[in-house]
Amino acid sequence: MAERLGYRFLDTGEMYRALTWFILENGVDPADEEILGKVAPQVSMTVGAAPAGSGQHSHVLVGGKDATPFLVRPDVEGAVSLVSRVPAVRQAMVAIQRRIAAEGAIVMAGRDIGTTVLPAAALKVYLDASPEERARRRQRQAAARGEKTTLDSVLEELARRDAIDSSRETSPLRPAADAVIIKTDGLNLEQVVERIMALTQ
């Protein structure tokens, strides 16, 4: 979408993953909300465009360290929902995301963009798919990285993360009231892009 429109792109999930990696690297318990609430507002984070051909959406520096190569590491994947549910963490990340958005036209992806980060966005789209479809996609992504997973284990991890994200006190996972909901089961990438492009006309 960003390429089609000539906009910048930001996947805010990569910011939470980068912070999670930083926390794990520094020996902080991702379940310790009190410490996370103190650390998150003090950690510097810089998000820029990833180098062409890198396979990444963004280039993320946390505390001056490059977190980009570690965003899909299994321990990061397992802890990111614990970190992102903390109100002080979300407040710190949302402030950065809003500053980035204010710099010009952007396509922003994340679980609370339309409800919290940019509630006045010109277009809000909520992409949905069945748990089984999402699990198959995740499994394919993992296989492309050389990781071996089972469909059942991926389904279980998705259900766990959704439960945490949907029940968190701050910015729970839900579509904005004025979001266009697109069910993506059976659709390929190009078909989804075309449906969203039609909404921008």
Quick one: tokens of 169? 């006190």
Domains of the chain: 2-196 (3.40.50.300)
User: CA nearest 8: which of 65, 59, 70, 63?
Assistant: 59
Model confidence at 184: pLDDT above 90: yes
* 199/63 Cα distance (integer angstroms): 39
5 near 107, Cβ under 8 Å? yes
Model confidence at 128: pLDDT above 80: yes
Model confidence at 52: pLDDT above 70: no
60 near 75, Cβ under 8 Å? no
Model confidence at 59: pLDDT above 90: no
How does the average pLDDT of the chain come out, rounded? 89
Q: DSSP letter for 68, please.
A: G
Mean pLDDT, rounded, for 17-32: 95
Distances (CA, A) of 184 to 15, 143, 181, 192, 196: 25, 21, 9, 7, 11
Whole-prediction pTM: 0.82
Mean pLDDT, rounded, for 140-157: 87
**For residue range 77-120, what is the model confidence (pLDDT) as tens digits?**
889 989 998 999 999 999 999 999 999 999 999 989 999 999 99
> Residue 158, class by beta-carbon neighbours within 10 Å (0-12 exposed, 13-18 middle, 19+ buried)?
middle
Model confidence at 161: pLDDT above 70: yes
Mean pLDDT, rounded, for 23-46: 93
Model confidence at 58: pLDDT above 80: no
